[in-house]
Amino acid sequence: MNNKQYPISGIKIGTACAGLKSTTDDLTIFELSPQSTCVGVFTQNAFCAAPVTIAKQHLAATNPRFLLINSGNANAGCGEKGLQDAITCCETVAQSAGCNTNEILPFSTGVIGQPLPTDKICTAIPIALKNLAENNWKVAANAIKTTDTVDKIVSIQTSIGNKIVTVTGVAKGAGMIRPNMATMLAFIATDANIPTDILQNCLNQAVEQSFNRITIDGDTSTNDACMLIATGCGEQTIDNIEHIYYEQFCQVLTDVCTQLALAIVRDGEGATKFITISVEQGNSSQECLEVAYTIAHSPLVKTAFFASDANWGRILAAVGRAEIIDLDINAIQIYLNEVCIVENGGLADIYTEEQGSKVMAETDILVRVLLGRGDKQERVFTCDLSYDYVRINAEYRT
């Protein structure tokens, strides 16, 4: 990840300790410049958290002025009270900052099903507002964490059309990760001037190739949200999808999102291996993803990676049970890095256990599956399943 961090003109960030987790900061406020545009993608989980519901309603009503994020409590599965608690926190920010309640977007992450301690949050809000500063991206990356072990922050500054454009983002996530239109939580901003509809297109395109290509445990969170803000405080304007620099900006945004997404996988709860699954020669992108996710979500495959066990039969079985119509197993090839393990319907003639074991002992591993039925290709990123994953989640509420 890029260690250089560029603040975004028009964004100020403040954090505070509300006591939801421990003695570390767990409350974060983003202040957006008045001319900012803001878009988002949210979890598709039917039991979406209260802040997701409120944030979507507020975002549809007006351009936001503040984002309010708490970690340590998800405010999910709390019914009508959860909705009111989210609104109460928004009202406190609005009263303190002198704006409308629907100009506040709330976000939460943490344990599901526990009432949100609004008293603690509302007490800490004025402190976070007092701490607002442009250079607080790193403290924000730390404050939004739950089981994360590292801060996730990416910042790119580049020239687009001879004008400097900056994109900076933070994310959190280590478990309950199989995003569906978003990630656990991600907040990304640029100083470019981009209208809402174009900004939404940019985000959708970037998310589809980044956050929607990672999985740790196959569970889609109730709280997923990925927000993109364009402050308009820079010199570059991109006002339509036919703009000469639209694709260049989208690529920079996708790079930021991809680096954040891969950081989530590398920080997966208990993870010891980083695994790229590339499915090639498919009839469609959808069937490539079906095969990739079937491999990535297999507990048997994931535990074999953790054990550095070249149990190639588990990968073969996962490919075979993917819901692909008329799959010709004799046309399939499977590789571990550059080592061919499966061809012509069975174990490759040139394969040796020593070759497979050598690859499985590595930290970064590429699984390539060639379906031999088309020209489509997709990649998914995942990790292994270790003893520590079970321990972390078994002890999560203790």
| CA separation for the pair 75, 301 (Å, rounded) | 34
- Active-site residue, 183 included: yes
| CA separation for the pair 89, 130 (Å, rounded) | 16
| CA separation for the pair 267, 149 (Å, rounded) | 7
DSSP class of residue 101 equals G
3-state DSSP assignment of residue 266: helix
Catalytic residue among 15, 109, 183, 276: 183
How many residues would you count in the chain? 398
| 75 φψ region: left (φ > 0), alpha (ψ -120 to 50), beta (else) | left
Q: Which two tokens stand for residue 397?
A: 């509420």
CA 268-271-272 angle, 5° bins: 145
HSE on the CB side for 301, CA within 13 Å?
A: 25
By the 10 Å C-beta count (0-12 exposed, 13-18 middle, 19+ buried), 367 is classed as: buried
360-to-127, 214, 272, 328, 357 alpha-carbon distances in Å: 49, 20, 11, 27, 5
Q: Which residues are catalytic?
A: 183
